[in-house]
Structure 1
Amino acid sequence: MTDDIFEKKKTKNRDIRKYAKAGVALLVIIFLLLTGISSVVIAKEGEYKVVRQFGDIVKIHETPGLKFKVPFVQEVSTLSKKKMVYDVEEKEITTLDKKRMIIDNYAVWSIEDPERMIANARTVIGAEARMGEFIFSIVRSELGKMDFSEIINEEESSRGVLNDEITSKVNEYLARDNYGIVVDDVRIKRSDLPESNEAAVFNQMITDREKIAQQYLSEGEADKSRIRAEVDREVQEMLSTARANAEKIRSEGEQQAAAVYNESFSKDPEFYRLYRTLESYETTIDGETTIILPQDSPYTDLLQGYIE
């Protein structure tokens, strides 16, 4: 009986040792799998993989593919290589003509050197904060050189050139301080008035537009009067020329007619005298004319048709 019990305990101990060995082997396999998995880094297109060891950067993977690190010692973080949009916090500025405005900007930027970016800005949020400070400083300086109307007037505004200048200066500041980032574009997306002086500025704008409209009307009336005077003068000149030409033509015609009359009447003076007498009748005699003539007057004979 004692031997049976001893034999059972011996068998049980062998089973325990066997299971223990199997468990240890399983744990080793799991540990090896976890170690292998944790040592693999998958770098995707459009991102940086930053490998740190005890907080220090030891490697930056810039190309896509499978990469490796020391498991449980090194850790990996990801930074984007793509262009990012940073919405700059809106702030108030003062224009050259002492108008207050609220300016809202955005910037398109990307990480050019992740190691320098981490060394000087630490994080993406830190890089955007420094970039936002530079943008606001430059925007405030540049718009402070412009009048309010020049900024809001789209036809006269030089925002395109201004945006390029702001972008260039921001990149100069970022390169100077080695932030490892580059700004592709800075744009003013909104420019508003503070509520406190919005109504006053709008009223001033209405007044200015009314002055401009009145100036246009005055200039239009002046041009109208000038054009009308010029046209009237040209018409009078044309009429004077036409009258002079008509008088000249009439005079020439009368001269030619007189020459023809003289030539014709010189051939028969008696007929000419008769013709002139008959013309005088048209002038001196009408339906109410009374003429008293002697019986033996030649004029009476002519009227009565007695012509010898």
Structure 2
Amino acid sequence: MWTGTLYALIAGLMWGLVFVGPLLIPEYPAALQSVGRYLAFGLIALPLAWLDRAALRRLTRSDWLEAIKLAAIGNLLYYLCLASAIQRAGGPLPTMIIGTLPVVIAISANLRNARRDGRLPWLRLAPSLLLIAAGIACVNQAELAALRNDAHADITRYAYGALLAFGAVACWTWYPLRNADWLRHHPGRSPRTWATAQGVATLPLALTGYLVLWLVMGVSGSPFAMPFGPRPAVFIGLMAAIGLFASWLGTLCWNEASQRLPTALAGQLIVFETLAALSYAYILRGHPPGAQTLLGIALLVAGVMWAVRVKPEPVELNA
């Protein structure tokens, strides 16, 4: 249980990096950041795939189709929505919307996976969910107050960013549940191999997306300097860093956690991503969070610690 929680923490720290990219290169289209990140992820996965080629050969056609689905929705579409949301609404608002994932995934998993994982009793699970929800509400309230005090804020743009963030939530509610299904149905397979397989599956999708985007920009007469934009060194370095640490290492650690933890509990531990992303956002802002935000963070941590103590109960099958 605690080893799985530690892996989830490391995954959260790595995944928090993805919230930084759109803030560091805001002039780059979100679609380019999405395909750029996963093109880097796919290229990083190639030498890893060579080292793990024997295990990858044992994957069936249906396994590779599942990896492609996970790559398309949990990687490319998710990050397209997230990067677009951050560019329109800034870092904190999308971060807090994504922060609802622990509650959304926990409820979804507790409804659909009780027979496999055991049922986390709702009465015992409720306090942790309420603490997490209260923490998210506190931080969100603080950010909304700051927004209301900004005379130059574009409310429509922020609202559109919020809608895109909810789209990212939908993608990432589907992804961990579906990913955990595969891992739990294949307990003898290495999570490292499965992370690498998703990277390999992402590569042709990202490469195709990159070429299509380049073609569309050329045909439409976009002034954006393809293929690497106005700051090529920064773009390439950032995409490589996010591809290695967030995409591959984060996925590897999450796979390790998914094999050790009930899906409902693992879903709650995505809160680590929210905490990491908030920390990085305030570091970029150059000032610490306020008292209400700190209270929200404390509630989030308390909710996670409470959740770790809840043990699943086996579901009795009818004869």
The TM-score normalised by the length of structure 1 is 0.20
The TM-score normalised by the length of structure 2 is 0.19
Q: Quick check: which one's strand share is greater? A: 1
